[in-house]
Amino acid sequence: MNEENAVNSDGSATLTARWLAKPQVRWFAAGVAFMGVTSMFLFVLVDMIGMSVLVGTLLTLEICTVLRFFVNEWWVFGSRHFNWRRLGQYHVANAGASLVWWFATNVLSHFGVHHILAAILAVGFSTGFSFASNFLWIWRAKRPPSAS
């Protein structure tokens, strides 16, 4: 986004620019974009290259986890320094979100919710877990040391 698009003629930021300045909005936008990226990788690996679904999904998961980490690292949270610790934490958070999705899907299904609807509803739980782990753990704002 160039400077002309981000500022109105009176010097105030446009609504879009103000919204995109919020890391929470960028985080959700990246998540929506990665639904398409994930589908593309899966299509290429399974349908075009001929990998098995098992291998294709695992490879897609890892590729997209690393790519999404870098999008979060640089675009969402504005860090310009690669950090192995955060990459490891991001992998743990993604695994945790997957477990939350799996657990919620099965619990909802157990209580009579159709399994497809349960899986869709469970995305909300896993997204909440992922949001919290990203903002409160991996990229949490560092507090300045208190003066004693």
Model pLDDT, residue 143: 72
133: nearest Cα among 94, 100, 102, 103: 94
DSSP line for 79-99: --S--HHHHHHHHHHHHHHHH
| Residue that is written with structure tokens 């290259």 in the block | 49
Q: What is the mean pLDDT of the chain?
A: 86
The whole-number average pLDDT for the span 123-133 is 92
| pLDDT digit string, tens, across residues 39-50 | 899 899 999 999
Measured between alpha carbons, how far is residue 88 from residues 57, 65, 69, 91, 115 in Å?
20, 11, 10, 5, 31
The pair of structure tokens assigned to 13 is 């930021």
| pLDDT digit string, tens, across residues 25-40 | 999 999 899 888 988 9
| Per-residue pLDDT at 67 exceeds 90 | yes
Model pLDDT, residue 16: 74
| Per-residue pLDDT at 4 exceeds 50 | no
- This prediction's pTM: 0.75
CA distance 139 to 72: 9
CA distance 42 to 38: 6
CA distance 20 to 76: 9
CA distance 120 to 111: 15
| Per-residue pLDDT at 3 exceeds 60 | no
| pLDDT digit string, tens, across residues 48-57 | 999 898 888 8
Instruction: Please report, for the chain, the start and end positions of each structural domain, with discontinuous segments joined by +.
Output: 1-79, 83-141
What are the backbone angles phi and psi of residue 81, rounded to the nearest 5°? -125, 115
What does DSSP assign to residue 114?
-
The pair of structure tokens assigned to 77 is 């949270």
